Amino acid sequence: MVASRLSSFLREDDMASRWGGDEFVCLLLEVGDQADVMRMAKEMVEHIAESCVLHGDVLRVRVSVGIAIFPAHGSSAEILLNNADLAMYQAKGEKDRVALFQSPEPA
């Protein structure tokens, strides 16, 4: 259900892939700025969280989204994925369940 809703939400040139048991990675191409990405992620969370019925039970899925943007948050796929993962763990504590990667402050 999550994969189906995710796929139906993304634009034609965007890509989604299952990364692990309950983790998905989305590659969004041609995004405007951070505000556009944050707005789209919040809409994605709401879309996926809509209730559904499974075997007579009403279910709601809670989603947390971590965002890393190339090149500001990493110059390789490995770094971007790591930074998006860090942001995702931060998003779990956010009201809207979405967080943009924040570079650590220099010491």
The first and second tokens of residue 79, run together, are: 């770094």
The predicted pLDDT at position 31 comes to: 86
The predicted pLDDT at position 13 comes to: 93
> Residue 89: CB partners within 8 Å, gap ≥ 6?
64, 66
Residue closest to 52 by CA, chosen among 19, 4, 91, 93: 4
Structural domains for the chain: 2-100 (3.30.70.270)
pTM (predicted TM-score): 0.87
The predicted pLDDT at position 1 comes to: 81
The predicted pLDDT at position 107 comes to: 57
Q: What are the 10-residue block averages of pLDDT along the chain, 107 residues in total? A: 87 90 90 91 92 91 94 95 96 92 75
The predicted pLDDT at position 30 comes to: 86
